[in-house]
A = this chain, B = another copy of it.
């Protein structure tokens, strides 16, 4: 099958920052992304779990973004501006996608 090179960006960020992040992505012309729920985790700020939580604080979401290699920098700059002062991690992997016209 015809595959096309792309980047897979995975941004794990505080749930309260989800809207700010997606706004920033839209602002950078990145309109394709998928948000996965996160049930728990651990990091320098300790271990946490969503179980029984009511407030939006103290939870994370994972935003996955498949993007053409040449658009990566715009995305990273937009994302970094949001995550900079917040907890969370950003990783970028090489990948290949079907139907490149969608990206």
Contacts and interface: CB of A to CB of B under 8 A. Distances in A.
Interface residues of A, number: 48
Interface in A41-58: 41-44, 47, 49
A32 B38 contact: no
A34 B26 contact: no
Contacts of A32: 42-44, 89
Given A1-B80, A40-B35, A92 B96 contact: yes
A28 interface: no
A67 B93 CA distance: 14
Interface of A: 1, 3, 6, 8, 10, 12, 22, 25-26, 31-44, 47, 49, 60-62, 64, 66, 73, 76-77, 80, 83, 89-99, 102-103
